[in-house]
Amino acid sequence: MINRFLKPMLPSLSTDLPKGENWVYEVKYDGFRCLLYWDESSIIMTSRNGHELHTIFPEIPYYLKNLQGKIKHLLPLLIDGELCILENQFKASFEQIQKRGRLKQNDRIKKASELFPSSFCSFDLLALEGKYIYQQLFLQRKEKLQHLLHMLGVHTDEVSLTSPINYIPFTSDKVKLEKTVQTHESEGIVAKDITNKWSPGERANKWIKVKNLRVNTFFILGYDTENGFFHVGVIKDQTVFFTGLFSHGISPEEKEALIQIVKKNQNGKSGSFISLEPSICVDLSYLELYKNQLRQPRFVSFRFDVHWEECTWESLQKSH
């Protein structure tokens, strides 16, 4: 028999996608990594950290239970995928999945499942007929997954916004998928080596994730000596507007130099935070704006050629 949960295999993060005849590419959706276990008596969805998701997103097991007769002979099975709330065929809503993931009360869960229905976007098949198949090669697993979904009546050529279960297709056309991901503001791309075998709990170099990052210019608002983060902002409605904080990406030498500049030119201190009048501009990469703040910001470079008043909310919105 198979376990209801395996610690998932994870992709390695990179800034560049690998190239070569052994590599194929899939859209990376912004949701909850999820393993779906299905046997004759239950459907259990588990997050990468081992938390149950089927009680918070009940529309998925409800939908699948009604189709169980079509694939009963293939149970128990285990599918790997991403639990998403889709905005378009190539992008999932981080904000909506976070909101739904926090719900506890059954009536609110039911209402949310109707207003913002989720979709289990599957990309790998780990077990079938009560036997593990994750040591089979990638293309074999994908073919079996595709066949399984066909039996359930799921179209596998593209992701459907209205289907509670989807299949994430792969392509060998890296350039075309990169353009698609940029156009639709997807989270990114996962490159997969077709010779890969699925390894529980491993962060593998056979799976490479590249995020679809934006880059914009911000000014420094200050530095927190307690947590080591710099605060940044832009001009919005003729006032200084906080947009986030960063610490990653900047070299130790650059960080120390910036700290000294902030300390020497500070215009006040509150607790551990040293504030600075807008003057120093930096380029930051980030995934998206979430509740008007930067997600996963990272230092790229100083922008000594930019005046701080050029860092506006309007220019930030143009890239979204």
pLDDT of residue 242: 98
Q: Residue 303 above 70 pLDDT?
A: yes
What average pLDDT score do residues 111-122 get? 98
Catalytic: 28?
yes
pLDDT of residue 32: 98
Q: Residue 320 above 70 pLDDT?
A: no
What DSSP character marks residue 9? P
**Tokens representing residue 17 in the block:** 């996608």
Please give the C-alpha separations between residue 58 and each of 47, 104, 207, in angstroms, as whole numbers.
14, 12, 30
How far, rounded to the nearest angstrom, does the alpha carbon of residue 89 sit from its chain's CA centroid? Answer: 15
Q: Residue 319 above 90 pLDDT?
A: no
Q: What is the pLDDT of residues 262-275, one digit of tens each?
A: 999 999 999 999 99
**CA angle, 209 as apex, 208 and 213 as ends, to 5°?**
145
Class of domain 10-211: alpha beta
% of the chain residues with pLDDT over 90: 97
Task: Give the list of residues 6+ apart from residue 294 with CB closer than 8 angstroms, or none.
Answer: 232, 243, 244, 246, 284, 286
Task: Give the list of residues 6+ apart from residue 76 with CB closer than 8 angstroms, or none.
Answer: 1, 2, 37, 38, 39, 40, 127, 129, 130
Please report the sign of the dihedral spanned by the C-alpha atoms of residue 163, residue 96, residue 295, residue 293.
positive
Class of domain 214-318: mainly beta
Bond before 76 cis per omega within 30 degrees: yes
What average pLDDT score do residues 109-119 get? 98
Strand pairing class (214-224; 273-276)? antiparallel
**Tokens representing residue 97 in the block:** 């999945």
Task: Give the list of residues 6+ apart from residue 239 with CB closer than 8 angstroms, or none.
Answer: none
Q: What 3-state class would DSSP assign to 217?
A: strand
Q: Residue 317 above 70 pLDDT?
A: yes
Side chain identity at 261, as an amino acid letter? Answer: I
Q: What is the pLDDT of residues 1-57, one digit of tens each?
A: 899 999 999 999 999 999 999 999 999 999 999 999 999 999 999 999 999 999 999
How far, rounded to the nearest angstrom, does the alpha carbon of residue 134 sit from its chain's CA centroid? Answer: 23
Which listed residue (28, 91, 192, 206) is catalytic? 28
Q: What is the pLDDT of residues 140-162, one digit of tens each?
A: 999 999 999 999 999 999 999 99
pLDDT of residue 318: 76
pLDDT of residue 204: 85
Q: Where are the domains of the chain?
A: 10-211, 214-318
Q: Could you give the CA distance from residue 20 to residue 193 in angstroms, rounded to a whole number? A: 9
